[in-house]
Structures are given as C-alpha cells and as structure tokens.
Amino acid sequence: MPQYSPPLRDMQFVMHEVLKVTDELKPIAKYADADAETMNAILEEGGKFASEVVLPLNISGDEEGCTLDPVTHAVTTPKGFKEAYKKYVEGGWPALSGDTDFGGQGLPLVVNQCFYEMLNSANQAWTMYPGLTHGAHAALHAHGTDEQKKTYLQKMTTGEWTGTMCLTEPHCGTDLGLMRTKAEPQPDGTYKITGNKIFISAGEHDMADNIIHLVLARITDAPPGIKGVSLFIVPKFMVKPDGTPGERNGIYCGGLEHKMGIHGNATAQIVIDGAIGTLVGQPNKGMQGMFVMMNAARLGVGNQSLGLTEVAYQNALAYAKDRIQMRSLSGVKAKDKPADPIIVHPDVRKMLLTAKAYAEGGRALAIYCAVLLDKEHYHPDEKVRKDSGEVLSLLTPIVKAFLTDNGHIATNACMQVFGGHGFIKEWGMEQFVRDNRINMIYEGTNTIQSLDLLGRKVLGNNGATLKKFGKIIGALIAEEGVNEKMAEFINPLAVLAEQMTKFTTELGFKGFQNPDEVGAAAVDYLRVAGHLVFGYFWARMAQVALREIAAGNADPFYLAKLQTARFYFAKLFPETATLMRTARSGSKVLMDTDAALA
C-alpha cells in the first residue's frame, strides 16, 4: 500500500513564512484571532484523519468500486467509505471553514484548503463525496433565498447532507446552452423538473441522509441557449417542516459509469422524473449561481491533482532510495551493495524533482488562492475585495489546468521511477495516474480553461487583470533585483514577465484578426502563464530559504527548498520558450489541414 506522510512542514512554511496568512487575514474581523498554532494543530489532526482513516480505503475502494441496485436505485459505496464518512462528520471536519451562522467553525479557508489537499492525497474518490458539498454550499450561500439557506445550509455545513452539481447531459458537456432538462412552473411556486443528466459525481450513495442536487434546467418557454438556463435545488428527499428528510423526490440513479479511475466515487446517470425543485436566483440566470459552484470546484480539482502529485512523489522518493539497479555513471556510490540505489541516476532525480517542484509550487499557489477567496468575500476594504476577486478569477483556470496537467506529468514520472513495478497494481502508482486523468477533463476541460484564461480573463479586459498580477511580480523583482543571491531566480522571472506582455499583445492582435488564433494558442499560453505564476512563488520561497540560511538556520528544509527552486528554474521553467514558439506558429498549420484530417 502507498505510504503518505502529511506535508505539514511545507504547509506551515507556505502559510506562515512565505505568505504570512494570519497577517493577511488580520483585517478581517472574524479572523482577527486566527493564529498559526491553532491552524497547525488542526492540520496535524487533519493529517492523521487523512492518513489513518481515508488512505487505507484507497486501493480497496479502487478495486471494489460502487454498485447499483437496479430495483431500488440505491448505490452502495466501497466497504469502509460510509464508516469513514461518519467519522468525518462526527469529527466536525466538514464544518472547518463553514459559516458560523450555519453551524460552521469559521476558520480561514486556507485551513480547509490544506486539509483537503491531504484528503486528496489519501483518497481522491472518497474525498469527492464531501468535496462537492462545499461548492454547492457556496452557491446556495451566495444565491439562495433565506428559506433555502435555512432548509439546507446547516445540514450541508455539518456534512449530514452532501451536494452535487448536475450540469452534463448526454449531448452536452462543454456547451451547456444545448441543455434539454425542463422545469415546469407549478402553482405553489416550485418547479417540476424532468430530464437526464450523466456523469454526476457522488450523484447517489449511502454515506449521507440526503443528497442536495444543484440542477441546471430550462424553464418552459425560456430563450434558447445559455441565456435560458436556470438553477434549481432538487433534494433526493423532500425536507419536512421539522427539517428532517421526508418523501422521496423523483430524482434517482439510472446507472453507474464504468471508468478509468476514481472507481470509489459513484459517477451517476441521474434520471429526473418530475422531481420537485425550487429556483435558485433569477429565472434564466442559472449560470450566475452555478459559476460560484464551478469556480469552487475548479480550485478543488486543482487541489485533487496537487494531492496526487504529493503522494506519488513521496512513494517514488522512498522507492528510489531503496531500489538498487546499475552503478552510478560517476562511480560506485553504495560500496556495500551489488548495485547503487536508483536515486543516484540523473534522470531518476529529474523525475523526482519534477514531482516535488510541481507539488510545492502548486501548494503555494493553492494556499495563496484560498487567502484571496477569503479577502474577496470578507476584507473590510472594498478595493482589496475587488482586486482579490479579480486576481483570483485570473488564477482559477491556471489552478485548474496547470495543476492537473502537472499532476499528469508528475504521477506518470513517479510511476516511471518504479519501472515495471509502477505499471502493475501492487504498489498503487498506476492508480494515481488513472485517478488524476479525469482532473484534466471534468469541470471544464483544460482546453476550455485555457480559452477562459486567454479569451475572457486576459484579452477580454485588455490585459488589465494580468497587469494587476504583473504588478505583484514587479514588486518582488524591484525588492530583490539588486540581490545577487536571488539573481538566478529573479532574472528569468523578470525576463518572462516582460516577454509575457509582448506575447499577450501579439496574440491579442492576431486574435482580433482571426479568432482561431486564440484557440490555437490558448493551451500553450496557459502553460506559460502557469510558469510565470509558479516562477513568482518559487522565487518567493527561495527568498525565504536564502534569508534563513544567511541567518544561520541549519534546518535542512531550507537547503532542500533552495535546491528545488534551482531545479525548477533550470529544468522546468525554460519550457516557456518552446511554448511561446509553438503558440506563435499560429492557427494556419492547424486549420489548413482538411486533407490531413480527411
């Protein structure tokens, strides 16, 4: 079974030494007393929950999968999932960062972010059951009526009930404007909803007393396309006046998908057969509410890959120290052994460091985003709220796509470290690769994320938000530009920041003349932007490490950080040159290919 040791030291480094999250959050009244010790202590316990309760169910959940009773439509989750969920609820874990008005503990979101990274390392399939509830909760919190909040939020905060997002239909995934599910208004103000949804994660299960589906549907006579889509709450069980689950609603699981990974999570075909739903927000403005959930889910999906990258790295590192094969090119290293451990080989180190650099860079970015999310909602200064929201919206597609693509690279590299033993099931490495693969697809494919970034978030506002983040990078460059010791990090970052401005203007100009140019460049563009962001965080992490080392701190953690930063800038960051070149090669070589694709 794979091993997992919660990366608490690195989380603490990012939170308290690099980003100084308690200082950042201090102006927010409800976080004025949030202190590092409490956050660390909670995460220490959270790490135990992830590694002792959830991790042991990862391989068995993958092997067993979920089963559907075709008569009752009940779904049984793998052995142990339900009991682990009960412990999760009893331990108060769902409520960590929940609103105190609804029974939450009111801790900063960053605590939940780090806790969920650990859960994802331990078992992505299990974590998706409670994970989706947070996004559904956020959408209802932002757009629900008082009555809806009163009925659902308390139970969703405590985890007694879970949530889903029901968007996809057989003929529409990316293009939700094609949606057919219908909502007929009823005299009592509710809606009768009918349609078929597919691929609904955690769509049916035996872990909670009720499932609160957030369903997109089209009200009778709604305009065609995305402008006619509305959002509804459709509970599995109707809620009685006393707040307990009542009659069964007409929404059930018609089938379970057989799939490549996340076998322990029920990917349900959902039949909606005249179910009763209530409208969330305004008619035909369903995407506004759903976007709250989608944005939360996009950050959540990036976090899934971050978790998998970390756990894959830890196991590959341990294996590489233990497995002996061949001798080092530069002479025997383990004289007492018939061969050297494979960690002596440069390419094995490259694979390990790739995963480590992507995990630690991703962690810094994800924690930064969790702080932005809190600032966007609760900071007393309106300008800080606005700026935080804008930067977060720029970074969201990067978190979703860059972290999940990196997860793909990293879990594959870590599997490769095991040679043939990575490909067979015994070590659990191939499961990380399989489980990660969906992260690049759902919640808007990574191509769609790249179009969102380049088309909407960057060119859509003439690069204004990108410039805002550019200023943040510029401040670090100005601060460290004369520090020789930081030159190996600051110089490449400064070069890319400058190139990015020109690169963006160029793509904007070409895209204005021919929109296919944006589509042809977007995926490469997002990866360049991802490295710009990672470069910034790696430079900040190197800055702290250098200061500690200069001050005589002998903790090997700082040297390790510095070496990883050097590796990142030397071996991964330069990919940006190729990416800009391929992006600049334009759309013609793609679009003038009818003969090639005939």
Ligand X SMILES: Cc1cc2nc3c(=O)[nH]c(=O)nc-3n(C[C@H](O)[C@H](O)[C@H](O)COP(=O)(O)OP(=O)(O)OC[C@H]3O[C@@H](n4cnc5c(N)ncnc54)[C@H](O)[C@@H]3O)c2cc1C
Residues forming contacts to ligand X in the complex (CB under 6 A) are 165-168, 173-174, 199-201, 259, 267, 438, 441-445, 447-448, 451, 519
H-helix or E-strand spanning residue 155: helix 146-158
Among the listed residues 117, 443, 480, 548, the single catalytic one is: 443
Return the structure tokens found at 220. 């009778």
The residue number with the shortest CB distance to ligand X is: 173
Nearer Cβ to ligand X (197/531) = 197
What whole-number distance in Å separates Cα of residue 25 and Cα of residue 10? Answer: 20
Q: Regarding beta strands 210-219 and 161-166, do their DSSP bridges make them parallel or antiparallel, or are they unpaired? A: parallel
CA contacts within 13 A on the Cβ side of 422: 21
Among 61, 62, 68, 59, which Cα is nearest to 204's? 68
* DSSP string computed for 395-432: HHHHHHHHHHHHHHHHHHHHHHHTTHHHHSGGGSHHHH
Q: Please state the closest distance from residue 138 (CB atom) to ligand X, in A.
A: 15
Distances (CA, A) of 119 to 60, 224, 277: 16, 41, 32
Q: Which residue has the tokens 């990380």?
A: 432
H-helix or E-strand spanning residue 544: helix 516-550
Distances (CA, A) of 310 to 75, 354, 358, 593: 31, 11, 9, 40
Q: Is 247 helix (H, G, I), strand (E, B) or coil?
A: strand
| Axis crossing angle, helix 286-322 with helix 429-437, rounded to the nearest 10 | 160
Q: Please state the closest distance from residue 296 (CB atom) to ligand X, in A.
A: 13
Nearer Cβ to ligand X (243/515) = 515
Q: Regarding beta strands 251-256 and 267-280, do their DSSP bridges make them parallel or antiparallel, or are they unpaired? A: antiparallel
Q: Please state the closest distance from residue 171 (CB atom) to ligand X, in A.
A: 8
Q: Please state the closest distance from residue 299 (CB atom) to ligand X, in A.
A: 15
Cα–chain-centroid distance for residue 119?
Answer: 12
Q: Which residues pair with 182 in a beta bridge?
A: 194, 218
Backbone angle region of 218, left / alpha / beta, with phi > 0 → left and psi within -120 to 50 → alpha: beta
Other CB atoms within a 10 A radius of the CB of residue 570 amount to 12
Nearer Cβ to ligand X (277/444) = 444
Give the DSSP letter of residue 96: T
Nearer Cβ to ligand X (94/135) = 135
For the chain, the first-to-last Cα distance in angstroms comes to: 47
Per-position b or e across 172-185, b if 16+ CB within 10 A of its CB:
ebeebeebebbbee
Nearer Cβ to ligand X (297/343) = 297
DSSP alpha helix (H) spans, 51-123: 58-64, 81-90, 109-122
Q: Please state the closest distance from residue 507 (CB atom) to ligand X, in A.
A: 16
Among 182, 121, 84, which Cα is nearest to 411's? 121
What whole-number distance in Å separates Cα of residue 495 and Cα of residue 484? Answer: 16
Nearer Cβ to ligand X (236/375) = 236
What whole-number distance in Å separates Cα of residue 411 and Cα of residue 433? Answer: 5
Q: Please state the closest distance from residue 172 (CB atom) to ligand X, in A.
A: 6
Q: Please state the closest distance from residue 506 (CB atom) to ligand X, in A.
A: 21
| Axis crossing angle, helix 81-90 with helix 124-143, rounded to the nearest 10 | 50
Q: Please state the closest distance from residue 446 (CB atom) to ligand X, in A.
A: 7
Nearer Cβ to ligand X (136/357) = 136
Nearer Cβ to ligand X (151/168) = 168
What whole-number distance in Å separates Cα of residue 239 and Cα of residue 156? Answer: 13
E strands within 145-203?
A: 161-166, 182-185, 191-201
Nearer Cβ to ligand X (318/448) = 448
Q: Which residue has the tokens 């490469």?
A: 524
Q: Please state the closest distance from residue 202 (CB atom) to ligand X, in A.
A: 7
Is 443 one of the catalytic residues?
Answer: yes
Return the structure tokens found at 41. 């202590």
Nearer Cβ to ligand X (198/539) = 198
Catalytic center residues: 443
